[in-house]
Amino acid sequence: MTEFLVHDERVSIPLDPITLEGDLSIPQGATGIVVFAHGSGSSRHSPRNRFVAQYLQETGLATLLFDLLTSEEEEIDALTAHLRFDIDLLATRLVAATDWLLQNPDTEGLNIGYFGASTGAAAALIAAVRRPDAVMTVVSRGGRPDLAKEYLADVKAPTLLIVGGWDTPVIEMNQSAMDRMKVRTEMMIVPGATHLFEEPGKLEEVAVMAGEWFAEHLDPIR
């Protein structure tokens, strides 16, 4: 990769009566922005999402990693694990972040894509249905798009589903979701990878796949 300049900023996204915290990174000459919707029990500090985000920044894409839950909600969820599966709540938070980007002078002109992991993938698909004119595409990493089943037929954003080759149950869930979707949807299986893509080199493969997909769907020139 050639040397690049990135403007990093801690941001607060208001959603009455709460505020969501995020990390916004905008490379010089950014061609689009990817909003990360993290999965079960994770946050904007997820090392896997941050790895992918850095790769995307190096390809010229801005990124927004933000917490779908407040710190107080995360403490509750750590005990009950119920909020991470409240897909409608997560989707509402993602829509709020999208609206914020559309009004932010630094990002209002950028095409928007979502990168969802685990339950965050379902939230991303629902949010894409709720903001069809704003969201250009969705990428899912080890996601649960099946949890957005009532919305799948209405998704207008081209969708890429990335699944580990050893993550058999999730492959089946993704295939089931694909069968319901009418928009262009592709599933890419990473051979030798489990659910979290922890095997050497596998997360790099995810980043490259996502980067190519986002370049195709977010670059206004293309």
- The more confidently predicted of residues 211 and 118 is 211
Question: What mean pLDDT comes out for the span 28-45?
Answer: 82
The structure tokens 């409608």 sit at: 88
Percentage with pLDDT > 90 across the chain: 74
Domain membership flag for residue 188: yes
pLDDT exceeds cutoff 50 at 1: no
Please answer whether residues 22 and 66 qualify as being in contact, where contact means their C-beta atoms are separated by less than 8 angstroms: yes
Domain membership flag for residue 77: yes
pLDDT exceeds cutoff 90 at 41: no
Domain membership flag for residue 195: yes
pLDDT exceeds cutoff 90 at 96: yes
Please answer whether residues 153 and 126 qualify as being in contact, where contact means their C-beta atoms are separated by less than 8 angstroms: no
Domain membership flag for residue 49: yes
Question: What mean pLDDT comes out for the span 21-47?
Answer: 85
Out of 12-16, 73-77, 84-88, pick the least confident. 73-77
- Average model confidence (pLDDT) for the chain? 91
Q: Domain count for the chain, please give it.
A: 1
Domain interval for residue 46 = 6-218
The structure tokens 């262009």 sit at: 184
The pTM for the full model equals 0.92
Whichever domain contains 186, its CATH number is 3.40.50.1820
Interatomic CA distance for residues 58 and 44, integer angstroms:
19
Domain membership flag for residue 1: no
Angle ∠(115,57,93) on CA atoms, nearest 5:
35
List, for residues 113-132, the tens digit of each pLDDT value: 999 998 999 999 999 999 99
pLDDT exceeds cutoff 80 at 218: yes
Domain membership flag for residue 164: yes
Domain membership flag for residue 29: yes
The structure tokens 């095409």 sit at: 111
Q: How confident is the model at residue 4 (pLDDT cuts 50, 70, 90)?
A: low
Domain membership flag for residue 144: yes
The structure tokens 């493969």 sit at: 205
Please answer whether residues 195 and 170 qualify as being in contact, where contact means their C-beta atoms are separated by less than 8 angstroms: yes
